[in-house]
Amino acid sequence: MFKHSRSIASFLFLIILLSGCGLISHKTIKVDANYDGRALTMRSGDKLQIALTGNPTTGYMWEVAPGSTSIMRLEGECSFSSATKALGSGGNLIFLFEAKDQGKGTVKLIYHRPWEKGIPPIKTFTVNVAVK
Q: Which domains does the chain have, with CATH numbers?
A: 25-131 (2.60.40.2020)
pTM confidence score: 0.78
> Using one digit for the tens of pLDDT, what is the confidence trace for 25-43?
789 999 999 999 999 999 9
Give the bridge partners for 64, in sequence order: 109
Contact 62, 110 (CB under 8 A): yes
> Using one digit for the tens of pLDDT, what is the confidence trace for 105-128?
999 999 999 999 999 999 999 999
